[in-house]
Structures are given as C-alpha cells and as structure tokens.
Structure 1
Amino acid sequence: MAQGIKTLAALLAAGIAGTALAAATPEEIKSLSGARTPWGAEVAGNKDGSIPAWTGAVNPPAGFDPQKPMRRPDPFANEKALFSIDAKNMDKYADKLSDGTKAMLKKYPTYRLDIYPGHRTANYPKFYLDNTLKNASACKTGSDGLKLEGCWPGLPFPFPKTGNEVVWNRLLKFDAPAMTTTAMSSRVVDTQGNITLTGASTAYIQYPIFDPKRTTPISDNEIYEALRLDYSAPNRKAGEKVLVRDSVDMLDTGRRAWSYLPGQRRVKLSPDLSYDTPSPTGGGTGVLDDTAVFFGAMDRYDFKLVGKKEMYIPYNSYKIRDPQVCPENVRHMKNHLNPDCMRWELHRVWVVEATLKPGKRHVYPKRVFHFDEDMPGVGIADNYDSTGQIYRVVLNLPISLYETPGHHATDEYVTHDLATGMYAHQTDPTDGGGWVVTPLKPNSFFMPEALAAEGVR
C-alpha cells in the first residue's frame, strides 16, 4: 500500500492527474498511511480522550460461537454509562447534540441519552482499502454531483469536499458484499405505546460492486446496491416481494424498483418506491428515503457540506439487538425506544445540510445529516417541516460484525415523528438472529423475472 501511495502522490505532484481528478492533495493521500485511517478518518482521538484513537476491529466476547444463531453478544456489556443527558441538563451538552435530539429531549420527559465510553470499531477488508486509495485521486462526481465517474469499489471520497461527496460515501457504505436475514421486521409504536408489526420478511442485500475478486473500476451506470424483501407477515403482506436496484447514475439510470403482489400474480414496476413516498412499513411515520438516515437519489436537494464536529450518536448498538436483553416489549415504549436498551457514544461526524431545489417537491424542505467519519452509513437525520420546525428524527442502530472482521450492520433504524408522537423501528433483523454475511448471489436473483418465477398466491 505504501508504494501505491507514493505513486499516486507523484502523479498528482507532476500534474498528470489533471483537473478531472478528485481534489485530494498529495499530502492528504500520504496521510492515509499515517495520520488518517485508510478510509480518511482521523486516527487520533480528541484532546480529552472522550473520542479514542482508532486501533482496529473489535474482538468477539469470550464464549462467542459463530456457528450458533447470530445473536451477537455485546462485547462491551460490562461497561457502565459515564453519564446521562436529559431535558434538565441538555444545555450543558448542547454543542454535541443534533437539533433533532434536543427537540426529542424537550418533548418527551422519558427520553434520555446514556453516554458510554467510545469505541471506534470500524474496519474494512484489504480490497476495499486498496480501492479507496485509488479513489483518493481518481474518483469524482459529474452532472452536478449526481453521477460517479472514474471510481473504484471502495469509499468514493476519503477526503470529501462537498455535501454530495459525503452522501455518496453513505450510499456506497461498506457493510459486506452480501448479507441476508431470515426475519427482518418493522414495527410501528403508536402514541399509547401499542406495538404493531407492519412487515416481516426474509431480506437480501447485495452490493455487486464490492465483489472481492473484482479488478475493474465501477462503470458509469452500474448497480451499486440491490435489495430484495420476501414478506411473510403480517397476513395482508404475506407473499409480497419487493426488489430495489440503485445505480451510480442517478439521472439516466436511477432507481429501478418492482413489486410482486400475490393477489394479482404479477410483477409490477414501482417507480414510486423512492423519495417521499410513505414507507410501506412505516405506518405513516416516515418516507422511503428516510431509510437508514438517507436512501436514494440526491437530485431534489442542494447538499451543503457544513463541516465536521463531535456529536453524540447511537453506536455499538448490541444491547438493543439482543432479544434476551431487550425483547420486543422491553425495547419498545411509548414515543421512543427504551433508553435502557440504547448506547450513545461521542464520535466525529460530517454535517451536511440539504435544502430543496427550486421547482422540486419533498415533504422535507430542509434536512440536516450527521454521518460518522468511520462508518459513513451511520448517523442522525434531522428533518424539518415547511414551518422550519423539526418534523422527524431518524437514527441508525449500528454494530460491527466481529466474527467477520471488516463487516458491519448499519441498516437498522428508527424514525420518530414528533408531530404525532409515533415512531417506526424498521429493518430490525433481531427476530431472525441478525444479519449473516453470505456469498454473492447471481445477478439473476435480483431481477424482476426471479420475483415472477418464485411468486405464489
């Protein structure tokens, strides 16, 4: 890797790279083997040590057996919270809280943040880091930030200079090339605390671009993510199937989505499975691109990179993913998830402000995203309504998969609707034992013809 850094730095210094390449400087590229992690985050902790230095992957807890169902015990179970933040003392920590987090603390007397010691558990496989190094000088955006050009299957922008680049890092986050779970569930909790199962499915998620055997750059219209859901519950959704495929070209290719409805026995193109279409399993509490903080095309917003800051975010969320510690009726309470089941840590995040473009429509005129510097698919979204008030707050509940170092699970999320007091806890794999890393499936598995062939009444 060191030789590759020297080569890229020399190319840039000689001017061979030209203005078409990304804006990483030779000094920045060189830092990927020193002051920066191989994906561009700061290696060092902060001055008071409340954010630790990055040291590598988390180790499995003693007694963990990866051959058993993948309910991963908390490797930090013996740690105690350092302190808690609630409405009474939130002003003391206001500079490290998102506006949405502060709004929730003010609105719900039962809401609090238990702050634990920080652990930077991100880690990535060698092929991904090698490609990230190439991207530091090769990857760029085109068409007003809506296309990727010249990029390799790694983190697109280890040194992001624009809001679009930070969001591209989120969209091309690396959890694993392919994962599945046999019982991914979504639940909505109403204002009385009643829990409703809105969807349970076998879920398959695949990033075709992250095939470890691949040796070529990403093509200009390639599919970077494929998601398939085969529903088994509730009864009204049993037998339904959903397929979503996202391209690195958001303009000419964009998202393609299909659904199979057993009552009609046919597969339908579903162009509305995007943007601010209400989430099919959200019970009216969120929209499709709320998924995992943000999920979809960027063409309706202008994205401004505000900068990087220290912030309390949910992290290492093993406790809430363990049904023996936090079963369904414990982890869900009125208005929000049970604070006893949550873990918050101080991390550095990229802050991006999204404002609706003239002539475009979305239920959120303004959004502010906070994405972790180590795992760019992790963070918080503060979504505003037309009056400028916080409308909905979205949180990721991430973990690192310690049995397969370099892999993570970051798609589980919760959307809080402050207007109604309801919330939706979605893409929760706990009932099926969590996400399991699997071999890549053939592309045909993620084609609409497969939905039709496997569909049943």
Structure 2
Amino acid sequence: MFDKIKIMTALAGIAGLAGLAMSGAALASAEEDAAKLGTTLTPWGAEKEGNKDGTIPAYTGPIKPPASYDPKKPGVRPDPFAGEKPLFSIDARNVDKYADKVSEGNKAMMKKYPTYRMDIYPSHRTVNYPKYVLDNTKKNVGQCKTVADGLQVENCYAGFPFPFPKTGSEVMWNRLWKFDAYMMESAGMTGTVVDTQGNRTVTGVGKMWIDYPIYNPAKTTPVALNETYGRIRIDYTDPARKAGEKLIVLDGVDMVGVGRKAFSYLPGQRRVKLAPDIAYDTPSPTGGGAGTVDEAAVWYGSLDRYNFKLIGKKEMYIPYNAYKIRDPQQCPSSVAMKTKNHLNPDCMRWELHRVWVVEATLKPGKRNVYAKRTLYWDEDMPGIGISDNYDSTGQIYRTTHSLPISLYETQGHSTDEWVTYDLATGNYARQEDVTDTGGWIVTPPKPSSFFTPEALAGEGVR
C-alpha cells in the first residue's frame, strides 16, 4: 500500500512538472507570436508583405484623404482612387480563368445574370487603427481565449481578440469585435429593395447610432463577461408606415447567459416591447424579404446555432475601398441601384486581398434557413467580406457583400453597409445606405441611458 502511494505521488509530481513545462512552452510561444506583431506581421496579425505576384501590396500605412475632401462634411468621403481604371473585368465569359479567386456566390450570380460583372482594380490596404486598439491586440496574445464551446471569451482586451486565429470561432470573434469607431451615427440610414423589374422600394429610413462601448479609449481592463460589446439604435422617419418606430439592439459578450436583447417602440401601441425576433433568420426589418437579420453586414449576432470550421487563408476578389458607390457625386443611390438583379457594376470596386475562410454548418437540432455558410473575412479588416449562404438542398440561396471604406477624419472604418442578393427571387437589398444623406459621422458617445427601453418610452411620440 505504501509503495502504491509513493508511485502515485511520483506520477503526480511528473504530471505537475509536465504541466509546468507545457505552460512554459505556451508562454514562450505567445511571446514569440507577440514579437511578430508590428515587425514581420502587421500590429493586428495580418501578413505585412505583399504576395509574390505583387497583386496584393505590402501594408505601408493608412489612407490619406484626397484634396476634394471637405472636413466640414466629414461623412461625404470622395473616392481617393477616382483616377484609377480597372485592370480587367470578370464575367460569365471568363470567370473560369479566375475561378480560384472568385466566391461561389459570385459565380452563381454570373451564371444567372449575364449583366453581372466584377471590375478588378489595383489593391490598396487602407486600414487605420488607433494605438490603444493595437496595444490591446498585443495584450491578447496567449491570454484571450474562447470558452463555453466558443460562445464566450475571457481575458480579452478590446482589440483583435485573436490576431493569430486557430479556429473558426476565433475568426468570428474577430469579426464581432471589429473596430470601426467608438461611436458613429447617420441622419438617414436607408434600406432599399430592387425587384426583378428594376423597381426600387424604400423599406426604411431613419437616424441610426452604432456604438461599441468596449472601445472606450479610457478602458484599461479586459472586457468582462457581463458587458455589452455592441449596440445600435434606429429612429425611423420613413416610409409613413414605419415613421415613429424605434429599435434598440444590445449584444452581450456572454452568448450563453445573456445573448442579444432587443427592444422596439411601436407608435400605434405607444409602448416598448421586447423584440426577440430581431435575431437569427428572422427577415431583416428593412430587407424587404431579401435577407435575414443575422446576415446584416455579412454576419450579425450570436454564434450558437453553427459550428465554425476554419478552412484557412486564401486570396480572393472582394468589394474593397467602396468609395465610389458611397460617393453622391459619382454614384448616388439612383445610379447605384438603377440596374435590376444586382448593383450597378460601374459603381463597384473589387480588389484582390487575403481572406480567412470559415465554413459555418448548422448544428444538429438548430434551425436556420441557411444550412451552411461560407464566410470570407479580410485579414486587415475582419468586419468586411462575403458570405455565401446555402439552403438545405445545398444550393446557394443568397450571397451578401460588405461595401466598406476607411475613414479620413479619424482613425477607423465604416464597414456596416451591405448588399444581399437573393438568387431564388432575383431581388436584392442594399441596407444602411447613407450615400444621399450625409454619410456616417464619428461622434462623441451617447450615455448608456440612450440605449435603454426607458429612453424609447420617454421619447416615443408620433
């Protein structure tokens, strides 16, 4: 018996030493990774150098505004690349030549619509992050981790949670915590649906605020599990049937115990109510049937209904530096959406960039109209990319594209505008479009009370 105890004690000691060795190795590995940030890699973990062909440039610094930019109109950002011409175009006639760099959704669009094309421009890496976001990203190396089957994170500062993502869930958390700005607003966020005849229907117009409270520059501690990482508020003004409606959406770090909370004010009822349907595959409130809530801005919401598999990184043509389609002088909404079945290709800009590829597969027993999604996320701006969304038969149902830009007046980006193409109906929806209404403007943060049901109730008159 005594010998058995000695053996067990010895084994426990060996195990403890092995654990210390492993933790020491992990620490050393984390230190090596952290040392790469800002040296061989960008400060957020992307490949700093360009590709071998020179078709993706090295990152050399943020974008500079063109001379035509007027700081007195900060939301109107002229195209800094207006003088550039497409290198070439991709359509149904030559897509096979570029097939490895074109998403399946775009291939399906070309097959169905002969007028759909992608004009490929020179690539520009234009991201611009504040120092505190980059400092926090470095702190996350080896410390930040997912728990609860990827539905929570812990020991994470407000930056890139995972500059060296190893799993699909980690890439998705980078998306959820994307940095655009601490707070921005628009006086006229607009949703529009275009039908198969080219008829445009405005589905919603309103003042909108987008707030990321975790990105308070004064915050010096890791983001707590009980915090809200993102919140929005919309006060609708048009069309008449929606005028006076208000909506608040709050997304918590804890997707298990808290998740999303949404509240709506309906002027006809003069009361605020919980809005649990503002989630998952509920039709988008301003999508006109051509999109779901959770494909807003390519992905919007909880990760709990899918398994996320990291396929790897590859070069893809994605919408990028979408200044032209967001410039009221070049492509006002009447021009950008004058075409049926898809946005006006003359207004679109496509560039070659490296993207993380994530495959999302619906979990057994979970429900969503999309049985599978393939998501492509840019290595520099994790909030932009493409999602190809498949139905239960394995056919592409819809494809969603972001329409991103980097800001001129401050560090940050605007990545929440998007378009969804419904291949089943031929309709498409462009949402959070502010081209004709002054653009997105970075503003001082609102108090937390502004994003509460009490605030909606107190202001709710029609």
User: For residues 134 and 169 of structure 1, what CA distance do their matches in structure 2 show?
Assistant: 15
For the pair 1:240 / 2:255, whether they are aligned, the reply is: no
Closer, same or farther in 2 for the Cα pair 1:456/1:126, shift >3 Å?
Answer: same
Q: How big is each residue's C-alpha offset from its partner over 1:187-237, in whole Å with a ceiling of 9 and x where there is no partner?
A: 000010000000001000000000011111100121000100000000000
Shift of 1:27: 2.5
Provide the rounded CA distance (Å) in 2 between the counterparts of 1:453 and 1:178: 23
Q: Are residues 1:355 and 2:361 paired?
A: yes
* TM-superposition CA deviations, 1:245-290 (whole Å, max 9, x none): 0011101000000000000110000111100001111111110001
Structure 1 residues not aligned, in runs of 5+: 1-13
Indicate conservation of the 8 Å contact 2:194/2:429, yes or no: yes
> Which residue, 222, 227, 233 being the options, matches 2:227?
222
Instruction: Determine the C-alpha separation between the residues in 2 that align with 1:19 and 1:385.
Output: 46
How far residue 440 of structure 1 moved from its aligned partner, in angstroms, is 1.3
Identity of aligned residues (%): 67
Structure 2: how far apart are the matches of 1:207 and 1:19? 35
Deviation at 1:432, TM superposition (A): 2.1
Instruction: Give the corresponding residue for 1:8.
Output: none
For the residues of structure 2 that align with 1:153 and 1:68, how far apart are their CA atoms? 29
Q: Deviation digits for residues 337-383 of structure 1, max 9, x if unmatched?
A: 00000000000000000001011110000000000000000000000
| Structure 2 residue 91 is the aligned partner of structure 1 residue 96 | no
| Cα distance between partner residues in 1 of 2:434 and 2:60 | 28
Residue in 2 that maps onto 1:53: 58
Matches within 5 A, 1:136-215: 136-215=141-220
Deviations 1:25-57 (A, max 9, x none): 333221103111110000000001100000111
Q: Does structure 1 residue 295 correspond to structure 2 residue 294?
A: no
Do residues 399 (structure 1) and 408 (structure 2) align? no
Aligned partners of 2:388, 2:323: CA distance in 1, in Å?
Answer: 24
C-alpha deviations, 1:372-422, integer Å up to 9, x for none?
Answer: 000000000000011101110000000000221x21000000000000000
Find the partner of 1:453 among 429, 440, 458. 458
Provide the rounded CA distance (Å) in 2 between the counterparts of 1:314 and 1:95: 16
Conserved? CA contact 2:333–2:436, under 8 Å: no
Report the equivalent of 1:9: none
RMSD across aligned positions (CA): 1.6
- Which of these residues, 49, 68, 78, is aligned with residue 73 of structure 2? 68
Counterpart Cα distance in 2 of 1:99 and 1:299: 25
Q: CA deviation at 1:138?
A: 1.2
Letter of the 1:412 partner, please give it.
E
- The structure-2 alpha-carbon separation of the partners of 1:75 and 1:341, relative to structure 1 and needing over 3 Å to count, comes to same
Matched, 1:263 2:258: no
Aligned position for 1:337? 343
Structure 1 distance, partners of 2:448, 2:26, is 31
Residue 24 of structure 1: CA displacement?
6.0
Question: What SS does the aligned partner of 1:138 have?
Answer: coil
User: Structure 2-normalised TM-score?
Assistant: 0.94
Q: 5 Å matches for 1:78-157?
A: 78-157=83-162
Alpha carbons of structure 1 residues 22 and 160: separation in structure 2 relative to 1, 3 Å: farther
Cα deviation, residue 15, structure 1: 6.1
Measure the CA separation in 2 of the matches of 1:24 and 1:410.
33
Larger radius of gyration: 2
Aligned residues: 443
**Partner Cα distance (2:381, 2:37) in 1:** 16
Report how far residue 319 of structure 1 moved. Answer: 0.5
Which of 374, 378, 382 is the matching residue for 1:376? 382
